[in-house]
Copies of this chain bind each other. A is one copy, B any other.
Amino acid sequence: MEVRRAADLLERRWLLSILYASLAGAERFNEFLQALEGIPPGTLAQRLRQLERAGVLERRTVPASPPFAEYRLTSAGRELAPVVEAVQRWTGRRAAAGVEKGPPSPKRPSP
C-alpha cells in the first residue's frame, strides 16, 4: 500500500491548499498567507518547512531590500500537480452535482 508513504506529508491540514497556491504561482510567505485565508502563520511556516524537507519546495532568500524568501516547487513538487488536479476535478463535479454543505443525512437505523 504505497499511499501510506505519502500520508505524513499529505494528510495534514492546509496541505492541499498550499500545493494549489504554489502551483498557481504563490512564492512568498505573505502570498501564501493571503491565498490561504485563515491559516495561522505558525502552521504555514511549519508546512513550508515540511515541504522543503520533503523535497517538494525549495526555499531561497532573495537579497533585495528588504530581503525576502521565495518558495518554489521542485520537480518532485511539480509532479504533485496531478494529485491536486484530481482533487479539484472531484470537488468540481460534486459542486456541480449539488453537494454544498449538509448532505441529506443518510439515516442509519439503530440496530
Identical copies of this chain, number? 2
Chain A contact residues: over half helix, strand or loop, or mixed?
helix
With contacts A103-B54, A111-B61 known, is A17 near B4, CB below 8 A? Answer: yes
**A95: chain B residues within 8 A (beta carbon):** 2, 5
How many chain A residues touch B (CB < 8 A): the figure is 51
Q: Which residue of B lies closest to A84 (CB)?
A: B3
Is the pair A99, B55 in contact by a Cβ cutoff of 8 Å?
yes
CB-based contact B52/A106 at 8 Å? yes
Question: A interface vs B, CB < 8 Å?
Answer: 1-7, 10-17, 19-21, 35, 52-55, 58-59, 61, 67, 76, 79-80, 82-95, 97, 99, 103, 105-106, 108, 111
